[in-house]
Amino acid sequence: MWYIIGGLAAGLTTFAFVPQIIKIVKTRSVKDVSLITLLQFGVGVSLWLAYGVHLKDPIIIAANSVSLLSVVVLVFLFYRYN
């Protein structure tokens, strides 16, 4: 049961920035995006990823790998459209 809850939590937080990516691509605007927030989140996700690798926990590794990819895409879009 707790693995299901953990998996759902990981899925929801992992894809939390996808709507922001879609909005940026559609509007070609990043005026409401905070680079500091993205960088802070990116560092946090990187630390979670390292922790997951240390624990050899596939859910933590997968969730934070995708989250880090989302942050990288957002930072790229931030500089592209800023």
Q: Under a CB-based contact definition with an 8 Å cutoff, are residues 67 and 13 in contact?
A: yes
Each residue's pLDDT tens digit, 6-42: 888 888 988 999 999 999 999 999 998 999 999 999 9
For the 2-81 domain, the top CATH level (class) is: mainly alpha
Calculate the alpha carbon distances from 6 to 14, 30, 31, 57, 59 in Å: 12, 32, 34, 12, 8
What are the residue ranges spanned by the domains of the chain?
2-81
pTM: predicted TM-score of the whole model, two decimal places: 0.86
